[in-house]
Structure 1
């Protein structure tokens, strides 16, 4: 191999330090180009509807990918869970920026329990933590989760994402929906406003939506329920309802400050979800690009800094991590044995549900849709019990 000096045009001796330095640079560039080329030049991403934080964050990341890698990305928004998942599982979108519907789809529950769906073999690449807790009106005198018993709790019609979070936090204190006065509101907005309007005493929410600030400024006042991070029994009981939460100390939002933080839960919204059959190299390249472009998008919104890979690349998430993402996280020194143990258990759960679904389909050809779903609930419960 001969390399010429670009200034003099003369050959550089192969045993010289200059030759070795130039060769090293060439190899580094070649490797970098190879890794960049693993990222598709065009992509279609799914997200929540225009105006949502999920759409804003997907757009900011897409813009960063375009500037850094010249990737052309189109975002397909949808206001429904099925509208976000259908294109992904059919291969019309490559990735989707999702929330709890990823868990529902992987579990085969709610909108995904009929014959046309069932458990979906999904994988996550990363997801930023979003905090939340039971929020109460201060004058309701609810100071811990157990105090919610007998109180008016706002649920949302047709919104299992919010409702399952309420049920999970109730389970933390050994309570169920039957232990509270569950009031169903027609919209998420109505449920949020119900506290300041005096129509409910508690609900689940994030700290930053405007109705939370309105509650804090209202005569009722605001109080966030602490979720003790070291109560192992409580966390186990919550995980039995939804194993998607982790402890999180929040200091940003209505009624919160650096001097007045609250122990809440974190779940992932948005998180980047793809199919299990995506190649490991593509998953690796996307995760790497997400990390390398962080400085380009981290200031796009008030919480975009939580996409830092050290936060976004750790479980729990709603579905297992893709092996390609794990490879990159291992290279970064982020992925631990504990993370791998979580991922193995999460994948075992998903695999058990996939097997149970196929068995249910085989046994239910003559059943009505209602009878089919009843059979699936039994088979699903049995599959989960087998993991204990």
Structure 2
């Protein structure tokens, strides 16, 4: 799970949003006057940004928003699926939920019919101890790479990055740590040589100042075969040159990947007009929230409203993006392919439920993964 410290600015934004005071103009056409959103726990980047956007909606449109924090993927999605929340601010669990994997591979879940409203690009890469002499992804072979137990969101990105370099987890010395913080600290402690994370984890600044030093592994934007291999693991990544974070600056950027966190997620059956109004408000109130945190400026609609993203875009969002001249034929083709993949998985799930009725949970999980891989193989 991505979890970032709160700054005084984000705390202020959170307190403003928590007050639920609407100060601005009349209600935006099509936007509900009250909403409930779920988000990561208080103190996370996702919660801070949801709070800042909620405050902007309140000031501009008198919209009252309640933010319901949750520390687990199920806790963030259950209220959305049951109708107790209107939108959820999620990360990679939106992809897992649409695929029926990890937490969502149990019989009571399966592929969920989710849609993206918008999602901010967030960077992720491979920090290494400089003394480990890792200059390329291929150099990770045989090296100690930190993984986090029970954290598929981090681990699937790490597996995808290895795939970019033509490697799998079996090609490295995968060291499992009990928590994200422990995995990040492992580099300074010389218990690992590389990790997979966002650029602003506090332990990376410690590594940069330590005797081991910090080096980001280059993930070149122009390696088409590498990107193809990476996106076979999860088709949600894009190249990004990052300048914010430990060991990074405008003068010293690093090529890494971008995924979406937070992603504003709705159910597929949410009204097109309402989602259109939501995206319009997100765009038009941008100046009210764009300085609330260090990365929230990346909610600019031309960055946050385009694929690739974890789930298909909602048609209400697409309509607004088309009007703005942002959405093009290539994006439409991406969205249609992503939607077709989701529909194929939902159909395969229904068949697996019937076929696997008499199986125990472990055997059913095996059956479903076979069916899922067959669907994906047909589509590749």
Common topology (TM > 0.5): yes
2:196 maps to 204
Does residue 1:141 correspond to 2:168, yes or no? no
Give 1:192-341 correspondences, 5 Å limit: 192-341=184-333
1:160 pairs with one of 152, 155, 172: 152
Match of 2:91 in 1: 99
Cα shift readout 1:176-222 (whole Å, capped 9, x = no counterpart): 00000000000000001110111100011111121111111111100
Which protein shows a greater Rg?
1
1:181 aligns with 2:173: yes
What's 1:59 paired with?
51
- 2:367 aligned with 1:371, yes or no? no
What does residue 191 of structure 1 align with? 183
Distance in 1 separating the partners of 2:379 and 2:136: 32
When normalised by structure 1's length, the TM-score is 0.90
Between the aligned partners of 1:314 and 1:294, the Cα distance in structure 2 is 16
Deviations 1:135-187 (A, max 9, x none): 10000000000000000000000000000011000000110000000000000
Deviations 1:118-139 (A, max 9, x none): 0001000111111111110000
Q: How far apart are 1:37 and its partner, in Å?
A: 2.9
Q: Secondary structure at the match of 1:104?
A: helix
Show the counterpart of 2:107. Answer: 115
The SS at the match of 1:84 is helix
Q: Deviations over 1:316-336 (max 9, x none)?
A: 110000000000001111111
Distance 1:285 1:76 in 2: 22
Note the residue ranges of structure 1 that are not aligned, 5 or more in a row.
Answer: 1-31
Q: CA offsets per residue over residues 1-44 of structure 1, 9 Å max, x none?
A: xxxxxxxxxxxxxxxxxxxxxxxxxxxxxxx97x8231000000
Q: Secondary structure at the match of 1:204?
A: coil
Matched, 1:130 2:122: yes
RMSD over aligned Cα atoms: 1.1
What is residue 349 of structure 1 aligned with on the other side?
Answer: 341
Secondary structure of the corresponding residue to residue 208 of structure 1? coil
Cα distance between partner residues in 1 of 2:74 and 2:30: 29
SS at match of 1:236: helix
Give the structure 2 partner of residue 14 of structure 1: none
- Equivalenced residue count is 356
Runs of 4+ in structure 1 off by over 3 angstroms are none
CA deviations 1:248-279 (Å, max 9, x no partner) are 01111111111111111000000101100101
State the SS of the aligned residue for 2:65: strand
